[in-house]
Amino acid sequence: MSYYSGMKPYDLILLDADGTLFDFDAAAEAAFRGTAAEFSLAPHAAGGGAASVDELFARYRVINHGIWAELERGEIDKESLKAERFRRLFAEFGIGADPAAFSARFLVLLSEGAQVLPGALDFVRALHAAGKHLSIVTNGISAVQRGRFARSPFGGLISDLFISEELGAEKPAPAFFAEAFRRLGRSESEKAGAVVVGDSWSADILGAVGFGLDAVWFNPAGKAAPSAIPPAVSDARGYQAVLDRVLAGDRGLPED
Ligand SMILES: [Mg+2]
């Protein structure tokens, strides 16, 4: 019995986007700063204190994180979320700018932010060279994610872009992955050939496990898992470790 017996080859790799391939934090910060400059938000907004753009962005991140959690709990819808986060921010700082107009411009700039993480392109090229079918599975706003993907170097390597706003469900809901499988023309009996790679324990890893898929936790910072690591999940400290894991089954195939 070979060392690799029991390892199964994967033919479909479902890749999370933000924090796994894309540097979303960098994209969001650039878009926020750009929009703030256009709207003359800082350093001294009309009627408000002398908040710097650094302070505004730091507070925006907290508000944004909270409002996406509200979305996951079904307390707000995606369309309302877009401007509401800026309405809350402006209210805190006494800023008179129009949240809807600010949001619209922010999303345009954000859709142009295609900063990728160091090593991500080589990682995707290696998967593509191994003959894998690559799909992105991401939560987020369709126009933003499609714009960023179009400006990224991943075109021609990654076949599909599955975005929660288009699929009608958010990771970690099983309905998200079920709809992606449906669009791929894969039956749910073909789950064994697919693996999810992502940096979010709650969205990617628990989402994959909840739908019955294997997963690799992209965990370059070496964080402790928030809960016991299920047998179907591997903890990978970087892209090479992900490749070692998802390509491992290939080496176990008989050569004849
Ligand atoms: Mg992510």
Looking at the predicted structure, is the pLDDT value of residue 163 above 80? yes
**Span from the CA of 16 to the centroid of ligand 1 (angstroms):** 6
Name the band, by pLDDT with cuts 50, 70 and 90, for residue 73.
Answer: confident
**Span from the CA of 40 to the centroid of ligand 1 (angstroms):** 31
The residues spanned by each domain of the chain are 12-22+116-251, 25-111
Q: Please tell me the predicted confidence (pLDDT) of residue 78.
A: 87
**Span from the CA of 109 to the centroid of ligand 1 (angstroms):** 20
**Span from the CA of 198 to the centroid of ligand 1 (angstroms):** 6
**Span from the CA of 48 to the centroid of ligand 1 (angstroms):** 34
Q: Please tell me the predicted confidence (pLDDT) of residue 255.
A: 46
**Span from the CA of 4 to the centroid of ligand 1 (angstroms):** 30
**Span from the CA of 186 to the centroid of ligand 1 (angstroms):** 24
**Span from the CA of 178 to the centroid of ligand 1 (angstroms):** 19
Q: Are strands 194-198 and 214-218 parallel, antiparallel or unpaired?
A: parallel
Superfamily of domain 12-22+116-251: HAD superfamily/HAD-like (3.40.50.1000)
Enumerate residues 6+ apart whose C-beta is below 8 A from 113. 26, 27, 28, 30, 31, 148
Q: Of all helices (H) and strands (E), which one includes residue 90?
A: helix 78-93
What average pLDDT does range 30-45 have in this prediction? 86
**Span from the CA of 120 to the centroid of ligand 1 (angstroms):** 13
Nearest Cα to 4, choosing from 241, 213, 245, 212?
A: 245
What average pLDDT does range 61-67 have in this prediction? 96
Alpha-carbon distances of 236 from 35, 215, 240, 242, rounded to whole Å: 36, 10, 8, 6
Q: Please tell me the predicted confidence (pLDDT) of residue 2.
A: 39
Nearest Cα to 19, choosing from 177, 217, 180?
A: 217
pLDDT in tens, 92-127: 999 999 999 999 999 999 999 889 999 999 999 999
**Span from the CA of 251 to the centroid of ligand 1 (angstroms):** 28
Q: What is the pTM of this model?
A: 0.82
Q: Please tell me the predicted confidence (pLDDT) of residue 37.
A: 94
Separation of alpha carbons 54 and 48, rounded Å? 15
Superfamily of domain 25-111: Putative phosphatase; domain 2 (1.10.150.240)
**Span from the CA of 171 to the centroid of ligand 1 (angstroms):** 10
When comparing pLDDT for 45 and 228, which is higher? 228
pLDDT in tens, 215-245: 999 999 999 999 999 999 999 999 999 999 9
Looking at the predicted structure, is the pLDDT value of residue 256 above 60? no
Separation of alpha carbons 149 and 69, rounded Å? 24
**Span from the CA of 182 to the centroid of ligand 1 (angstroms):** 22
| Cα dihedral 117, 119, 124, 125 sign | positive
**Span from the CA of 23 to the centroid of ligand 1 (angstroms):** 9
Separation of alpha carbons 168 and 172, rounded Å? 12
Looking at the predicted structure, is the pLDDT value of residue 3 above 70? no
Name the band, by pLDDT with cuts 50, 70 and 90, for residue 9.
Answer: confident
